[in-house]
Amino acid sequence: MSDNSNLIQLANQARQHAYAPYSNYRVGAALRTKSGRIFTGVNVENAAYPTTMCAERVAIYKAVSEGEREFDVLALVTDNGGSPCGGCRQVLAEFGLETRILIADGEGRLLQETTVAALLPGAFTPIQMGIRGNGENG
Ligand SMILES: [Zn+2]
């Protein structure tokens, strides 16, 4: 099994823990860092809708909270191969435009392989704020 299909499988497996009682749109993400660690995430909805959080950001925030800021690839699985929302594209851009994105459906089929740079052209990044990516100064 390739690294890509393994990551997609992990994202798909994570979906069973999605908390999506309102939309029933179950999303799973699996993020592999450059150091080789993998963090999964699911969407977590809320009765107060705007406080809902996406699977991609859950995975990213888990990684950052454990000291990881350099990402290799994120696999995203939904029933119909949905793409990351604008908010998640912006959060991904914070940690590198070169991060690869694998978009797959609920059968585990890879529908699209792309990058953050392609998903968010003209991204506002840490460079505009006077720092490099990953929170480094200078
Ligand atoms: Zn999102």
Q: In what order do the strands lie in the sheet with 110-115?
A: 38-42, 28-33, 71-77, 100-104, 110-115
- Catalytic residues, by residue number, are 56
Average pLDDT of the residues in 19-23: 98
Q: Which domains are delineated in the chain?
A: 3-123 (3.40.140.10)
Q: For residues 46-68, give the mean pLDDT.
A: 98
Cα end-to-end distance, the chain, whole Å: 41
Separation of 30 CA from ligand 1 center, angstroms? 14
The mean pLDDT value of the chain amounts to 95
Residues 6+ apart with CB under 8 A from 29: 11, 14, 40, 41, 42, 55, 56, 58, 59, 74, 75, 76, 77
Task: Please give the pLDDT value at position 17.
Answer: 98
- What confidence tier does 2 reach under pLDDT thresholds 50, 70, 90? confident
Ligand 1 center to 87 CA (angstroms): 5
CA of 112 to the centre of ligand 1 (A): 17
CA of 83 to the centre of ligand 1 (A): 9
Asked if 66 and 33 count as a contact pair (C-beta separation under 8 A), the reply is no
User: Which whole number is the average pLDDT over 126-133?
Assistant: 88
- Indicate the pLDDT class of residue 135, thresholds 50, 70 and 90: low
- Phi then psi for 62, rounded to 5 degrees? -60, -45
